[in-house]
Amino acid sequence: MEAIYSLPFFVLEVPHLRLKKPAFIKAPSAMVTFGLILASYFLVTGGIIYDVIVEPPSIGSTTDEFGHSKPVAFMQYRVNGQYIMEGLVSSFLFVLGGAGFIILERSNISGLTRFNRIMLFSFGFFCIIVSFFACRVFMSIKLPGYLR
């Protein structure tokens, strides 16, 4: 084994290097990976691939009866079309709703002060309720016949 392993060194010369792997490079922990996946979830459900391929405008515009152009936030009457900003806002709400539930789960642990616990609970409830109802409203703006 040593004979084969030493073959290249008849030709090459080993340089005198002292290299060490830097200490801060290590495999990510579970929660760091979760954070990265959550960020990618935010981007993908916001329709970023649709944005890259179809290249819609950031906000639409329509002209009213006086000739002024007014901005339009949601592309209406179609489920398979969006503007860039509406997509990102909606996926932010998705992640906020999920984060609300995660906060609720973390509020149950022992060892929290009374103030912290009340803050966590109210923030969790707020996140869930706001994001859920806002998404419902957005969908009914987008599809005027939603839930009728």
Partner 1 sequence: MDAVVSNIPFLAKLGVYRFSQEKKETFLKLLILSLTAILSFSTRLFAVLRFESVIHEFDPYFNFRTTRFLTEEGFYQFHNWFDDRAWYPLGRIIGGTIYPGLMVTSAAIYHVLHAINVTIEIRNVCVFLAPLFSSLTTIVTYLLTKELKDSGAGLISAIMIAIVPGYISRSVAGSYDNEGIAIFCMLLTYYLWIKSIKTGSLFWSTLCALAYFYMVSSWGGYVFLINLIPLHVLALMFTGRFSHRVYVSYCTVYCLGTILSMQISFVGFQPVQSSEHMAAFGAFGLCQVHAFVDYLRSKLTDKQFQLLFKSLAITVGVVTVVVGGALTAMDKISPWTGRFYSLLDPSYAKNNIPIIASVSEHQPTTWSSFYFDFQLLVFMFPVGLYFCFSNLSDANIFIILYGVTSIYFSGVMVRLMLVLAPVMCIMSAIGISGILGVYMKNIEFGDSKAKKRPDKKIDTSYPVKSEIATGIVVMMTILLLTYTFHCTWVTSEAYSSPSIVLAASQQDGSRIIFDDFREAYYWLRQNTPEDAKVMSWWDYGYQITAMANRTILVDNNTWNNTHISRVGQAMSSPEDKAY
Residues that bind partner 1 (CB under 8 A): 1, 4-5, 27, 30-31, 33-34, 37-38, 40-41, 44-50, 52-54, 79-82, 86-87, 90-91, 94-95, 97-99, 101-102, 104-105, 108, 110, 112-114, 117-118, 121, 125, 128-129, 131-132, 135-136, 138-139, 142-143, 145, 147
Cβ–Cβ < 8 Å for 122, 114: no
Least separation in angstroms between CB 67 and partner 1: 30
Least separation in angstroms between CB 62 and partner 1: 19
> Nearest-CA neighbor of 14 among 6, 22, 26?
6
Least separation in angstroms between CB 60 and partner 1: 14
Least separation in angstroms between CB 100 and partner 1: 8
Dist CA 43 CA 52 (whole Å): 12
Nearer to partner 1 by Cβ, of 23 and 30: the residue is 30
Nearer to partner 1 by Cβ, of 70 and 141: the residue is 141
Nearer to partner 1 by Cβ, of 3 and 23: the residue is 3
Which ranges of the chain would DSSP assign to H, the alpha helix? Answer: 2-5, 30-45, 48-54, 84-106, 114-142
The half-sphere exposure of 57 on its side-chain side, counting CA atoms within 13 A, is 9
Report residue 62: phi and psi, to 5°: -140, 155
Amino acid at 28: P
Dist CA 8 CA 136 (whole Å): 68
Nearer to partner 1 by Cβ, of 15 and 67: the residue is 15
